[in-house]
Amino acid sequence: MSSSPDQTVPDTSAIAQPVLEARGVTKRFAGVTALSGIDFAVRPGESHALMGENGAGKSTLIKVLTGVHQPDDGELVWEGSPVKFARPLDAQRRGVSTIYQEVNLIPLMSVAQNIYLGREPRNRIGLIDYSQMFADARTLLTTYGIDIDVKRPLRSLALGVQQMVALARAVSINAGVVIMDEPTSSLEAREVDTLFSVIGILRRQGIAIVYVSHRMDEIYRVCERVTVLRDGRVVHVGDLADLPRMELVSLMLGRSVANVKGRGVTAFGETRESDAPPVLVATDLSRKHQLEGVGLEIRPGEVVGLGGLLGAGRSETLKALAGVMQLDRGTVAVDGKQVRSGSVPAAIRAGIVMLPEDRKSEGIIPNLSVRDNIVLAALPRLSRAGFSSTKNQDAVVDVFMRRLRIKASSPDQQVSELSGGNQQKVMIARWLAMNPKVLLLDEPTRGIDVGAKAEVQALIDELAAEGLAIVLVSSEVEEVVEGSARVIVLRDGRVETELTGADVDEEHLLAALAGDGSGDPK
Amino acid sequence: MTQGTVTIALPRRAAMLSVLQRYGVYLAILLILLFNLVATPHFFELDNFRTQFVQVVPVLIVALGMALVIGTEGIDLSVGGVMAMSAAVVPLYIGYGFLPAVLVAVVAGTLIGVVNGAMVAFIGVQPIVATLSLMVAGRGLALLIANEQLVSVTDPGILALGRDSLVGAVPYSVIVAIVLVLVIALVVNRTTFGKQLVAIGGNRRAAALSGLPVKRILLLVYILCAALASIAGIIGTARLGASVPSTLGNLIELAAITAVVVGGTPLTGGQVKIAGTVAGALLLQFISATLIKHNVPDAYSQIFQAAIILIAVYIQRGRAVTR
């Protein structure tokens, strides 16, 4: 596969009727609009990228296209006539196949059995004709340049090959549209090449591909058109060749390159750079498929932003620092002393604490009180001989509830009854009670209301001013830019570049996110 | 939302469920006592209540440990096997005297808890599977130790534990139970261990991310549960005046789980209600006593118990949905 869309694919996109269309599709969940008036169309033989950040509506749109969800408004159109997919099977029968990042096949069955599951060739007396099935499977896979023993159980094959089998099964059932959701996230480079050549073959057969990925390089390599979603709306449809990377990134993030505004959107004040010796030094953090040699240094009193698109390795870097993730390689040191990797208690003892991204599943203990949630990590320090001291706890709880302005009827109120912003403050209090040296914040203002957001942002400033070293991950560009003194930009699990001083602005960040600095697509 | 708190006006049905969830077990005890006041002669006599309390002791002690395990979102099916184990060991060491025999019996039973806890905490075996295997293996081992024999125990200390009362009023076994209830209540409400246990049951991932020693706590919880079951095994042996590892503690795990759940501790973990567990055990005891006194066959008593579990679980579910 060359670096440009395959030349032998006929350019039908301009003339052919779309094979699958969404017209004005709107989808609401419990009052929240996930999709609003989406128009989306793929034509036969076209490879169409669907782009957008977290919460843009990509997955919802895919679920509507595949019959998992039904649109509240608007309609789906198949080859010019309206269709309704009441359930996933309807969509599959019509010709919409989906390849997920995890393979949805039966691991213990043979490759051939998996391909023909539920539609096995029969002999005269109605039993499965295995020799026919094996021969058919072999022929089918050879068409896509895959040469494997079709009698082997599926799970004995590499993940990439399994995915090819899933793909072969999908297109052999019926060939209309194949939706690929992050198909390469667990593939080796060589397997990616095979996948792309298969995509080329499919397109020559007139099959439309909807390709979802966060990897810019892949998108530009394999797709010719793109639809960009943001906040449940289509913000751009067009040819990828006409769209510089930087523009694509700014479309996804909703920041126009041309009119990047000045400061003042967030509650962050002036940021300062520090020249104190670093409190945290991490080198060569690596984990297969996730991180590749990430290194960083954080000084006391500075806020360092981690930039990057979804899947770039920001959360993974924090998890590596906090001892949550096992590493293949790499070291973390605090004040020159190495921290045992892969151990949360060790990281906490060293003074590294992390506010996790998912407050609900990784942060709060819902049925415990505000008090118990705040003192959770500090409990051993606040206890004497294993007995918890209400007096010691009250002192801590009181200080942080007042300082962070946590609004609760009393410290004994159940934490799940608080608003998202107050829950987040409880989480921050839990960590501040540990007197940390390094505070890792993963999306500290996600899902909390505007007022609480400003408070949290102001608090981050305040904590840094008091000498805490802070690493900030946020999917909001202005939060990273205005909150951080430096920004380390990650891409595909590597450190792409570092922005310092006057370079910490949206323009430079967007350029770094796009990954080529020049804004040129190729 | 000026308060920053969310107060949702519960619909009437949900509010009722919520009250039932919290106080249902006490209400049920009240109802059954009222029923007996009217319908059962000689129920409200001191001797009867003494008998009821003595009989509830083994289930109650086992239920205390079960409540801790359930609080961590686990379950311990091996408690019957543990009881059999400690019962089997008592006659072997009774020659050394009351205290050594009791200590060795508790240690022997607790070893099963070590295996349970190690499997759950370090290997990651599901609690139900780990303890199911020890439920079978524990009793098997006990029978092996006892040579499948019923051995009568004649040590005066053991017999006193089963039959005598302090100043002729409060049976020693009931005193043991009361002390254990107080100790466990203290552990749950006042110790670091108790708080951490509940946190692990409430959100294990969050607890681990907060640096809690999740594995150690889980191990300790299963050990504690087995230690309590061992004590229950000794008291059971004392009451019978014989070590009967083949039947002692049969199906007690079901009674204990019922007591815990009926007492308002949800099977989903994150809460431990000691008072509720005591009440749950008492309720079961009163129900079976009532049925016996009215000559209802034992089979019906078990069906009745099953019905109560269903109702208790339904009430908790109803609460969970409204949250």
Q: Where are the domains of chain A?
A: 262-351+436-516, 365-435
Cβ atoms within 10 Å of A420's Cβ, excluding its own: 15
Instruction: Find where tokens 């040191």 sit.
Output: A333
Spell out the domains of chain B, with CATH numbers in brackets. 25-32+47-322 (1.10.3470)
pTM confidence score: 0.74
Residues 425-484 in A contacting B (C-alpha not used; CB under 8 Å) = 430
Cβ atoms within 10 Å of A17's Cβ, excluding its own: 12
Cα–Cα distance, A203 to A329 (Å, whole number): 41
Q: Do A345 and B211 touch (CB under 8 A)?
A: yes
Say if CB A38 and CB A211 are below 8 A apart: no
Name the closest residue on chain A to residue B8, using Cα atoms: A417
Cα–Cα distance, A43 to B303 (Å, whole number): 64
Cα–Cα distance, B18 to B24 (Å, whole number): 9
Cα–Cα distance, A240 to B53 (Å, whole number): 79
Tokens at A449, concatenated: 């209301």
Cα–Cα distance, A273 to B60 (Å, whole number): 62
What pLDDT score does A15 carry? Answer: 60
Instruction: Find where tokens 């408070």 sit.
Output: A455
Which residue from B193, B209, B210 is facing A386, i.e. has the nearest CB?
B193
Q: Do B206 and A364 touch (CB under 8 A)?
A: yes
Q: Do B6 and A418 touch (CB under 8 A)?
A: yes
Q: Does A410 touch chain B (CB under 8 A)?
A: no
Chain B nearest CA to A52, separation (Å): 29
At the top level of CATH, the class of A262-351+436-516 is alpha beta
Report the candidate in B268, B270, B260 with the shortest Cα–Cα distance to residue B200: B270
Chain B CB contacts of A422 below 8 Å: 4-5
Which residue from B190, B203, B323 is facing A387, i.e. has the nearest CB?
B190
Say if CB B103 and CB B217 are below 8 A apart: no
Which residue from A361, A408, A430 is facing B210, i.e. has the nearest CB?
A430
Q: Is B268 exposed, middle or buried (0-12, 13-18, 19+ CB in 10 A)?
A: middle
Select from B72, B190, B192 the residue whose CB has the most chain A CBs within 10 Å, as the one to mutate to test that interface.
B192
Q: Please identify every stretch of chain A with a pLDDT value under 50, giving residue numbers as ranges.
A: 1-8, 10, 12-13, 259-264, 517-522
B295 backbone φψ class: left, alpha, beta (φ>0; ψ -120 to 50)? left
- Kindly state the DSSP code that residue A82 receives in the 8-state scheme: E
What pLDDT score does A259 carry? Answer: 44
Say if CB A301 and CB A485 are below 8 A apart: no
Chain A nearest CA to B270, separation (Å): 7
Amino acid in the structure at residue A490: L
Chain A nearest CA to B7, separation (Å): 8
Name the closest residue on chain B to residue A431, using Cα atoms: B210
SS3 per residue for chain B: CCCCECCCCCCHHHHHHHHHHHHHHHHHHHHHHHHHHHHCCCCCCHHHHHHHHHHHHHHHHHHHHHHHHHHCCCCCCCHHHHHHHHHHHHHHHHHHCHHHHHHHHHHHHHHHHHHHHHHHHHHCCCHHHHHHHHHHHHHHHHHHHCCCCCEECCCHHHHHHHHCEECCCEEHHHHHHHHHHHHHHHHHHHEHHHHHHHHHHHCHHHHHHCCCCHHHHHHHHHHHHHHHHHHHHHHHHHHHCEECCCCCCCCHHHHHHHHHHHCCCCCCCCCCCHHHHHHHHHHHHHHHHHHHHCCCCHHHHHHHHHHHHHHHHHHHHHHHHHC
Cα–Cα distance, B178 to B186 (Å, whole number): 12
Chain B CB contacts of A349 below 8 Å: 211
Chain A CB contacts of B270 below 8 Å: 365-368
| H/E segment holding residue A193 | helix A189-204
3-state secondary structure of A35: strand
ipTM over 0.95: no
What pLDDT score does A520 carry? Answer: 39
Spell out which chain B residues touch chain A, with contact meaning CB-CB distance below 8 angstroms: 1, 3-7, 190-196, 198-199, 202-203, 205-213, 270-271, 323
Which residue from B6, B196, B203 is facing A364, i.e. has the nearest CB?
B203
Pairing state of beta strands A208-212 and A177-181?
parallel
Chain A CB contacts of B194 below 8 Å: 388
Q: Do B208 and A344 touch (CB under 8 A)?
A: yes
What pLDDT score does A147 carry? Answer: 83
Q: How many CA atoms lie within 13 A of B246 on its CB side?
A: 6
**Under 8 Å CB-to-CB from B316, ≥6 apart: which residues?**
B21, B261, B264, B266, B267
Select from A344, A355, A365, A448 the residue whose CB has the most chain B CBs within 10 Å, as the one to mutate to test that interface.
A365
Tokens at A275, concatenated: 């020249």
What pLDDT score does A265 carry? Answer: 54
Report the candidate in A290, A374, A353 with the shortest Cα–Cα distance to residue A327: A290
Chain A CB contacts of B202 below 8 Å: 365-368
Which residue from A348, A354, A417 is facing B5, i.e. has the nearest CB?
A417
Chain A CB contacts of B322 below 8 Å: none
Cα–Cα distance, A28 to B306 (Å, whole number): 43
Pairs of residues, one from chain A and one from chain B, whose beta carbons lie less than 8 Å apart: 95
Task: Starting at the earlier edge strand, list the strands of the sheet with A32-42.
Answer: A32-42, A20-29, A73-78, A81-83
Q: Do A418 and B191 touch (CB under 8 A)?
A: no
Chain B CB contacts of A367 below 8 Å: 198, 202, 270-271
Amino acid in the structure at residue B299: A
Q: Does A151 touch chain B (CB under 8 A)?
A: no
What pLDDT score does A7 carry? Answer: 45
Which residue from B4, B190, B213 is facing A345, i.e. has the nearest CB?
B213
Chain B CB contacts of A363 below 8 Å: 206, 209
Name the closest residue on chain A to residue B7, using Cα atoms: A417
What pLDDT score does A166 carry? Answer: 84
Q: Does A277 touch chain B (CB under 8 A)?
A: no
What pLDDT score does A48 carry? Answer: 95
**Under 8 Å CB-to-CB from B158, ≥6 apart: which residues?**
B90, B94, B98, B101, B234, B237, B238, B241
Per-residue pLDDT of chain B (323 residues; tens, 9 = 90+): 344 444 445 556 667 777 777 788 898 899 999 999 998 888 888 889 999 999 999 999 999 999 999 999 999 999 999 999 999 999 999 989 999 999 999 999 999 999 999 999 999 999 999 999 999 999 999 999 988 888 888 888 898 898 888 877 899 999 999 999 999 999 999 999 999 999 999 999 999 999 999 999 999 999 999 999 999 999 999 999 999 999 999 999 999 999 999 898 888 899 999 999 999 999 999 988 998 888 888 788 778 878 887 887 787 665 444 33
Segments in A42-129 forming alpha helices (H) = 58-65, 88-94, 111-115
What pLDDT score does A6 carry? Answer: 45
Cα–Cα distance, A475 to A306 (Å, whole number): 10
